[in-house]
Structure 1
Amino acid sequence: MLKQRIITALCLIPVVMGGIFLLPANYFAWALVPIFMIAAKEWGRLIDSKCNITQWTFTFTIAAILVALNIIVPVDSLWFNSRLHPIYEAIIATGVLWWGASTLLVFTYPNSGKLWQKSSLFKSMFGQLTLIPCFTALIALKSVNDQVDPYFGGSLVFLVMLVVWATDTGAYFAGKSFGKHKLMPNVSPAKTIEGLLGGLLTTMVVVAGVMYLSPEQELGLVIAVTLVTAVASAFGDLSESMFKRSANIKDSGNILPGHGGILDRIDSLTAALPVFAFIYVAMWMS
Structure 2
Amino acid sequence: MLNDWINPSLPAPLCWGLAVVGVLLVVASLTIALLKRRKPQKNWLELEQRVRTWYWIVGIFALTLLGSKALALTVFALVSFLAFKEFLTLSATREADHVVLFWAYMSIPFQYFWLGVNWYGMFIIFIPVYAFLILPMRMVLIGETRGFLRAASSLHWALMLTVFSLSHLPALLILPEVSNRAPVGHGASLLFFLVALTQSNDVAQYLWGKATGRRKIAPTVSPNKTVGGFLGGAATTTLLACLIGPWLTPMSLLHCALAGLLIGVSGFIGDVVISAVKRDIGVKDSGTLLPGHGGILDRLDSLTYTAPLFFHYVRYLYF
TM-score, normalisation: structure 2: 0.71
- CA distances 1:161-197 after superposition (whole Å, capped 9, x unpaired): 1211221111111101111000111110111010011
In 1: Cα distance, 2:155 partner to 2:62 partner? 31
In the alignment, is the contact (CA less than 8 A) between 2:175 and 2:315 conserved in 1?
no
1:159 is aligned to 193
CA offset at residue 222 of structure 1? 1.6
Partner SS, residue 184 of structure 1:
coil
CA offset at residue 244 of structure 1? 0.3
Moved more, 161-170 or 241-250: 161-170
| Aligned match for 2:216, one of 182, 199, 220 | 182
Which one-letter code corresponds to 1:119 in the other structure? Answer: R
Instruction: Say whether residues 1:34 and 2:78 are aligned partners.
Output: yes
In the alignment, is the contact (CA less than 8 A) between 1:237 and 1:268 conserved in 2?
yes
In 2: Cα distance, 1:32 partner to 1:205 partner? 26
CA offset at residue 29 of structure 1? 1.2
CA offset at residue 42 of structure 1? 1.1
Instruction: Say whether residues 1:195 and 2:229 are aligned partners.
Output: yes
CA offset at residue 35 of structure 1? 2.0
Write the mapping of 1:108-187 to structure 2, written as runs, cut at 5 A.
119-146=150-177, 151-187=185-221
1:65 is aligned to 107
Which one-letter code corresponds to 2:161 in the other structure? Answer: T
CA offset at residue 149 of structure 1? 5.8
Partner SS, residue 143 of structure 1:
helix
Which one-letter code corresponds to 1:278 in the other structure? Answer: H
In 2: Cα distance, 1:4 partner to 1:235 partner? 26
RMSD of aligned alpha carbons: 2.8
In the alignment, is the contact (CA less than 8 A) between 2:198 and 2:306 conserved in 1?
yes
Partner SS, residue 225 of structure 2:
strand
Residue ranges of structure 2 left out of the alignment (5+ in a row): 1-45, 130-146
TM-score, normalisation: structure 1: 0.79
216 and 134 in structure 1: CA distance in 2 versus 1, 3 angstrom threshold: closer
In 2: Cα distance, 1:46 partner to 1:52 partner? 12
Instruction: Say whether residues 1:13 and 2:48 are aligned partners.
Output: no
Which one-letter code corresponds to 1:125 in the other structure? Answer: H
167 and 267 in structure 1: CA distance in 2 versus 1, 3 angstrom threshold: same
176 and 168 in structure 1: CA distance in 2 versus 1, 3 angstrom threshold: same
In 1: Cα distance, 2:206 partner to 2:100 partner? 33
Instruction: Say whether residues 1:232 and 2:263 are aligned partners.
Output: no
Partner SS, residue 197 of structure 2:
helix
Moved more, 145-154 or 192-201: 145-154
In the alignment, is the contact (CA less than 8 A) between 2:193 and 2:248 conserved in 1?
no
In 1: Cα distance, 2:70 partner to 2:311 partner? 18
In 2: Cα distance, 1:10 partner to 1:70 partner? 26
1:207 is aligned to 242
216 and 30 in structure 1: CA distance in 2 versus 1, 3 angstrom threshold: closer
Instruction: Say whether residues 1:88 and 2:88 are aligned partners.
Output: no
Indicate the percent of aligned positions where both proteins have the same amino acid.
Answer: 25
CA offset at residue 202 of structure 1? 1.4
- CA distances 1:88-109 after superposition (whole Å, capped 9, x unpaired): 34469x69xxxxxxxxxxxxxx
264 and 62 in structure 1: CA distance in 2 versus 1, 3 angstrom threshold: farther
269 and 252 in structure 1: CA distance in 2 versus 1, 3 angstrom threshold: same
In the alignment, is the contact (CA less than 8 A) between 1:254 and 1:260 conserved in 2?
yes
Moved more, 171-180 or 144-153: 144-153
In 1: Cα distance, 2:254 partner to 2:232 partner? 19
Partner SS, residue 312 of structure 2:
helix
Partner SS, residue 153 of structure 1:
helix
150 and 119 in structure 1: CA distance in 2 versus 1, 3 angstrom threshold: same
2:257 is aligned to 223
CA offset at residue 146 of structure 1? 4.8
Partner SS, residue 301 of structure 2:
helix
Moved more, 265-274 or 198-207: 198-207
In 2: Cα distance, 1:56 partner to 1:154 partner? 37
In 2: Cα distance, 1:155 partner to 1:54 partner? 44
Residue ranges of structure 1 left out of the alignment (5+ in a row): 79-84, 96-115
- CA distances 1:196-249 after superposition (whole Å, capped 9, x unpaired): 1111121112321223x2698432222112211221111111110000000001
In 1: Cα distance, 2:89 partner to 2:97 partner? 6
In the alignment, is the contact (CA less than 8 A) between 2:266 and 2:305 conserved in 1?
yes
2:66 is aligned to 22
Partner SS, residue 252 of structure 1:
coil
